[in-house]
Amino acid sequence: MSVARIIVGCLATLTLSTAAQAAGSGYHVLDRVAGPDGGWDYVRVDQKNNRVLVTHGTSVMAIDLATKAVSSIAPGQRLHDAMPVNGGSEVLVTNGGTNTAVFVDAKSGAPLATVDTGKGPDAAAFDAKTGLVLVMDHAGGQVTLIDPKTHKAVGTIEVGGDLEAAAVDGTGKAFINVENKNEIVVVDIAGRKVLTRYALTGCDGPTGLAYDAVDKLLVAACDGVTDVVDARTGKVLQTLPTGKGADAVAYDPRQRIAFVSAGRAGTLGVITLAGGKATLVDTVPTQVGARTVALDERTGRLYLPTAKFGPPATPGGRPTVEPGSFQVLVVGK
């Protein structure tokens, strides 16, 4: 191929990519739901009970999507994730303050069982193949495996490092981001073992992770970029520029769109997947602090908790959260 044809082809690709981003996705902030003060971490959509769950301060904040009424369930310490289990009749809450996973009744919030985990239980994931919940112990470097039917821990997988989000492939394998090692670890859930490790080139601090079953791709959110990885080989296929402070990825398998929330940038990256290729089609303004995200696949709407920030209380410290400013953003078309 001639140099001229190569240049023309590259310019055409660049033009198409630029045009796609310029056209935008249509996503924007539709609404804001206020809540009580307090820190926050992961957010999930509870479809069974038509609500949004946010680990918020010392409890789980629940937003009724029909009425926007806000309530609190499942008190705890340093809560990280609240995942509906057992058909939505219960919620599993990871409790970093006590190194436990707590099962609560979905409607009343009453505690049903407490399961010991490793140090710093953080993100959780459910694997339908084995019927087990995986709790990523961020500080302990292990995965605690829990049977949600019996409320019992049934094993662990020693991974090592600071564990973040996980994604399952439906065949009994899980992929786990290791934040301090810039890698994805592949584990055999039933075999309770690590299969291999994928180095994430150009990635610093991977946190959010999603799996695309069509092309066997992993979408890993890093600080400032998102890596697209071949789940079968670990090869990094693309690195896309997304905002600083990303902490989560929400994935819509029907539309094949990944949403990357960036808290420091105050943006939401919209990435389409097709033909083994990822394209950043939009960078939606959200709000500084909106670092986690959940998708309601029924409506296509996304939910991002955040608050307004003031100057640090001490020079060089963390920004302070303005009282009365906590809210959950609703993003859609």
pLDDT mean over 23-30: 89
* pLDDT recorded at residue 276: 95
Amino acid at 10: C
Q: Is 180 in contact with 160 (CB distance < 8 Å)?
A: no
Contacts of 145 (CB under 8 A, 6+ apart): 132, 133, 134, 135, 153, 154, 155, 156, 157, 189, 192
Residue 8 has pLDDT above 80, yes or no: no
Q: Which residues pair with 253 in a beta bridge?
A: none
The structural domains of the chain, with segments of one domain joined by +, span 42-199
* pLDDT recorded at residue 42: 97
How is residue 236 written in tokens? 């990094």
Residue 22 has pLDDT above 80, yes or no: no
The mean-pLDDT minimum among 52-56, 72-76, 166-170, 294-298 falls in 72-76
Q: Which of 19-28, 142-151, 306-315 has the highest mean pLDDT?
A: 142-151
Return the half-sphere exposure (C-beta side, CA atoms, 13 A cut-off) of residue 184: 33
pLDDT mean over 50-56: 97
Q: What percent of the chain is predicted at pLDDT more than 90? A: 87
Give helix then strand counts, H and E, for the chain.
1, 30
* pLDDT recorded at residue 92: 98
Q: How far is CA 51 from CA 67, 107, 124, 180, in A?
A: 10, 11, 19, 33
The Cα–Cα gap between 277 and 239 comes to: 11
Residue 15 has pLDDT above 80, yes or no: no
* pLDDT recorded at residue 18: 37
* pLDDT recorded at residue 24: 84
CA Rg value for the chain? 20
Residue 173 has pLDDT above 90, yes or no: yes
* pLDDT recorded at residue 20: 40
Residue 94 has pLDDT above 90, yes or no: yes
Residue 313 has pLDDT above 90, yes or no: no
DSSP-derived secondary structure letter, 159: -
Residue 16 has pLDDT above 70, yes or no: no
Amino acid at 153: A
Q: How far does the chain reach from its first CA to its final CA, in angstroms?
A: 43
Average pLDDT score over the chain: 92
* pLDDT recorded at residue 300: 97
Q: In terms of C-beta density within 10 A (0-12 exposed, 13-18 middle, 19 or more buried), how is residue 86 classed?
A: middle
Four-way CATH pick for 42-199: 2.130.10.10, 3.40.50.1970, 2.40.50.660, 3.40.50.720: 2.130.10.10
pLDDT tens-digit map of 112-168: 999 999 999 999 999 999 999 999 999 999 999 999 999 999 999 999 999 999 999
Question: pTM of the entire structure?
Answer: 0.91
pLDDT tens-digit map of 181-240: 999 999 999 999 999 999 998 899 999 999 999 999 999 999 999 999 999 999 999 999
In three-state secondary structure terms, 118 is coil
Residue 2 has pLDDT above 60, yes or no: no
Quickly state the pLDDT bin for 7 (edges 50, 70, 90).
very low
**Token pair 């296509």 is at which residue?**
300
